[in-house]
A and B are shown apart, each in its own frame.
Chain A
Amino acid sequence: MTTDDIATLIGRVSLRDRAAFSALYRQTSPKLFAICVRILRDRTEAEEALQEIYIKIWQRADRFASGDTNPMSWLSAIARNHAIDHLRARKPVANTIDEAYDLADSAPDPEKTAINTAEGRRIDKCMNELEADRADAVRKAYVEGLSYQELAELFGTPLNTMRTWLRRSLLKLRECMER
């Protein structure tokens, strides 16, 4: 199944083609189910989440812009966002975005890094430039949906240290990807 095939199926789903929906489900549900299982860590919840995710996919297929977006990435983002929303509702974490961010030691002018270029280094290369444990924390946050608190416990750091690690790592990644 190529990227184009999945994009075509999503296009047909936006036209309310039920056969295309079944085919899309058959092709993509093992990946999206894996996302739910990994993040929710509960089979029953993962099955319920998968139902909701495919209902969203049916409803939002007309918003998929083929050409600018990889279709599998689009589907995975719907699944991850749903699973993470479910997780954060089940086990609330502290609000943080209205607080001060300690971003002191990041170097380059951010205005230059804010420009979106299609070119950019592979994230893997940039992850290698981070200290190993910080790269590991970034990856675990994404893949497993871990909160700052859970990451702090896992890595044995104070909560604020973990926040600073991750935020500075994000800035370093952004700078590296645009370099």
Chain B
Amino acid sequence: MTTQNPESGDSRRDQVIAGEYVLGVLSADDRRKVEARIVLDGAFAAMVNHWQSNLTTFDDAYEPIAPPPQVLVAVERRLFAEQARPVAAAGGFWNSLALWRVLTLASVAGLVTVATFSSGILTPVSQTKPLVAELTGDASTTINLLAQYDAANGALKITPVAAKQAEAKSLELWLIEGDNPAKSLGILPQTGEGEIIIPPELRSKFGAGVTLAVSVEPFGGSPTGTATGPVVAVGKTRLP
């Protein structure tokens, strides 16, 4: 599925696909494609959002059913037992729990799951605090990422912990500010610790609430200047 010009005659089809997504009739693969497009195409995301708010009236059909008490117990055990777990042995900076909590990018699937379409509110970036993004994806892990952006020197550190792709691919990082087209920030090194120096002209765009997304591209990066492969991770920046 390609990103189409919202002015084109394809927008009827887009409206239908957005509606089919919200209804739930699409296949798993198609749902992942739609979710990747939601990330990269603001006009399409708005269509999905619109269907969601229109069709939510049907939620009245769900008559509440009290779940058994063990469900909450299990949820709280999973959430809060994990948080209380001691940090693995290592030292100094990298062992800061607060740092890792905000720097952890969730395990990321072949494709992305997005829960929100709301646009963030830009707030001024402190020059002293690193800006971080929590990039979340689906459950079937193909890569794990850790990242940190230092506004002082424009360095964005990305560490892909594992990357399983059938053939040589590159991971490309994109910056999406509001409804503007995604801007490429560069290719992520796939082994070891990666660091991208953000071009000076793009540094002013780094504020809390902009979206960072990573897509899988042909080796060497997207040939077209826009994301062509599946989006594997996406998240909004925020101050820790």
**A interface residues (Cβ-Cβ under 8 A, vs B):** 18, 21-22, 25, 29-31, 33-35, 37-39, 46-47, 50-51, 54-56, 58-60, 62-65, 68-70, 72-74, 76-78, 80-81, 84-85, 88-89, 92-98, 101, 103, 106, 110-111, 113-114, 116, 120, 122-124, 138-139, 141-143, 145-148, 151, 166-167, 170-171, 173-174, 177
**Within 8 Å CB of B50, what residues of A?**
116
Given A29-B72, A78-B115, A171-B16: A97 and B34 within 8 A (CB)?
A: yes
Given A33-B65, A33-B66, A106-B12: A51 and B75 within 8 A (CB)?
A: yes
Q: A34-B62, A142-B55 are in contact. List 5 more A-B contacts (CB 8 A).
A: A56-B115, A59-B106, A69-B118, A113-B15, A141-B24
Q: Which of A22, A37, A96 has the most CB of B within 10 A?
A: A96
Contact A143 B61 (CB under 8 A): yes
Of B62, B65, B79, B116, which contacts A64 at CB under 8 A? B116
Q: How far is the CB of A9 from chain B (nearest CB, A)?
A: 15
**Within 8 Å CB of A69, what residues of B?**
53, 118
Of A97, A139, A141, which contacts B1 at CB under 8 A? A97
Our count of residue pairs bridging A and B at CB distance below 8 angstroms stands at: 191
**Within 8 Å CB of B23, what residues of A?**
138, 141-142, 166, 170
Given A110-B15, A123-B55: A148 and B72 within 8 A (CB)?
A: no
Given A30-B65, A47-B71, A123-B55: A146 and B12 within 8 A (CB)?
A: no
Contact B31 A63 (CB under 8 A): no
Of B26, B75, B118, B236, which contacts A25 at CB under 8 A? B75
Interface residues of B in 39-85 (CB under 8 A from A): 43, 46-47, 49-50, 52-59, 61-68, 70-72, 74-76, 78-80
**Within 8 Å CB of B7, what residues of A?**
111
Of all chain A residues, the one with the shortest Cβ separation from B28 is A88
Q: Which of A47, A54, A145 has the most CB of B within 10 A?
A: A54
Q: Which of B14, B15, B64, B78 has the most CB of A within 10 A?
A: B15
Of all chain A residues, the one with the shortest Cβ separation from B10 is A110
**Within 8 Å CB of A174, what residues of B?**
15, 19
A79→B34 CA distance, assembly (Å) = 18
Q: How far is the CB of A31 from chain B (nearest CB, A)?
A: 5
A133→B54 CA distance, assembly (Å) = 20
A-B contact pairs, 26 of them (CB 8 A): A30-B66, A31-B62, A31-B64, A33-B71, A47-B67, A55-B75, A55-B78, A63-B118, A77-B52, A81-B113, A81-B115, A93-B27, A95-B27, A97-B20, A97-B30, A97-B34, A110-B9, A111-B11, A116-B47, A116-B49, A138-B23, A145-B24, A166-B23, A166-B25, A170-B15, A173-B54
